[in-house]
């Protein structure tokens, strides 16, 4: 991003706090970005804030209001370039200028074409000293959902699986409760909170009867989506009885089955078929048009394989339990045809490893996704 001034440890310290604040808005601001802001004067934090919810005041507004009369001559740290246009709220760049801010430190530019560079230029022309690129990588990762969606119109797609050490998600009898531990399950609910929607396959709904909620943490529940190419999903399932939006996506479903689902408040999306199954790329296009900016894939193995083989996954999170299941008839975490040679395997980049209880989480990105 070509920083306009060299960064220093002080700038990084305050920007790191701003990024921490931004994460408080996860799940509430979609399809807008999460943003944090900190106002500092004479080495003291005088104001801070974050974007609380879609359509509400931006992070800069909360930080400036908290700073009050101390704002003149201060420095503001913002995780994403302040907006320069009228949307659901007035331009934050104008608010910063009017407040008398002396210096603005911006982690990264807003990729939205109506903003990109314009907010920074407006502040610079007004005489505010600008520093760009402080903790840019961390700030971009915090808003990876927003960056993908605003640049492509397609949702950010992440695959999450919990598996045994030998790569199984269920035993030969189909039992899968519970492979991962409680700490992992809580972390999964934190992950769910970030996403606008969660998708599972029909077999997962039939066998596991899952609730796709964030009941272990505080936050909004994502939209629940079932891939049901031929209309096999049972009507008596917990996710169809929950409050909130639920969608069944199909390529071919009997009209009476559709009517029964709709009578329960479930949406049915009929999408084109690809190789006899729902065209997953068309699903992403439809989600984007519905302002659903992110999709978490939670199962099962065939659904994971379908997205992976279609090249539609941006990121993966595997929770690995110290457990061996074994058996030729147990269920692999990723099904499908698989690759023919190891060199063609789907390699992860930017890998991070964390531990939750006795489980290990491996997370990384897939290159060449769309």
Cα separation, 208 vs 196, whole angstroms: 22
Cα separation, 220 vs 42, whole angstroms: 38
Residue where the block lists tokens 């920074």: 120
138 has catalytic annotation = no
Q: Where are the alpha helices (DSSP H) in the chain?
A: 9-22, 59-67, 92-99, 118-125, 136-142, 144-152, 182-194, 202-208, 238-241, 255-263, 280-289, 301-309
- Are 31 and 146 in contact, with CB atoms under 8 Å apart? yes
Cα separation, 239 vs 201, whole angstroms: 13
Candidate list 12, 20, 26, 60, residue with the active-site label: 60
Residues 6+ positions from 244 with CB-CB distance below 8 Å: 221, 223, 224
The strand pairing partners of 226, in sequence order, are: 200, 248
Give catalytic residues, as residue numbers.
60
């Amino acid at each position: 991003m070509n920083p306009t001034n060299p960064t220093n440890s002080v700038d990084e310290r305050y920007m790191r706090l701003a990024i921490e604040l931004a994460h408080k808005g996860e799940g509430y601001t979609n399809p807008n970005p999460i943003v944090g802001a900190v106002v500092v004067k004479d080495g003291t934090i005088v104001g801070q804030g974050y974007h609380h919810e879609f359509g509400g005041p931006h992070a800069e507004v909360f930080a400036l209001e908290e700073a009050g009369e101390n704002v003149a001559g201060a420095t503001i740290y913002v995780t994403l370039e302040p907006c320069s246009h009228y949307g659901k709220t007035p331009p934050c760049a104008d608010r910063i200028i009017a407040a008398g801010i002396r210096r603005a430190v911006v982690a990264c530019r807003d990729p939205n074409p109506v903003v990109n560079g314009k907010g920074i230029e407006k502040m610079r022309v007004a005489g505010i000293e600008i520093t760009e690129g402080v903790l840019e990588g961390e700030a971009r990762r915090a808003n990876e959902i927003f960056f993908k969606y605003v640049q492509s119109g397609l949702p950010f797609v992440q695959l999450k699986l919990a598996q045994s050490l030998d790569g199984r998600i269920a035993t030969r009898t189909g039992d899968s409760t519970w492979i991962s531990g409680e700490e992992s399950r809580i972390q999964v609910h934190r992950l769910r909170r970030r996403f606008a929607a969660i998708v599972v396959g029909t077999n997962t709904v039939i066998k596991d009867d899952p609730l796709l909620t964030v009941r272990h943490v505080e936050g909004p529940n994502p939209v629940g989506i079932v891939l049901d190419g031929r209309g096999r999903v049972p009507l008596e399932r917990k996710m169809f009885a929950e409050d909130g939006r639920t969608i069944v996506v199909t390529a071919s479903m009997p009209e009476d089955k559709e009517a029964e689902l709709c009578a329960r408040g479930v949406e049915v999306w009929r999408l084109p078929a690809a190789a006899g199954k729902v065209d997953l790329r068309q699903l992403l296009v439809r989600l984007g048009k519905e302002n659903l900016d992110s999709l978490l894939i939670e199962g099962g193995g065939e659904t994971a394989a379908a997205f992976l083989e279609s090249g539609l996954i941006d990121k993966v999170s595997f929770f690995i339990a110290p457990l061996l299941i074994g058996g030729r008839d147990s269920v692999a975490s990723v099904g499908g045809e698989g690759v023919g040679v190891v060199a063609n395997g789907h390699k992860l980049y930017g890998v991070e490893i964390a531990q939750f209880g006795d489980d290990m989480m491996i997370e990384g990105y897939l290159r060449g996704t769309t």
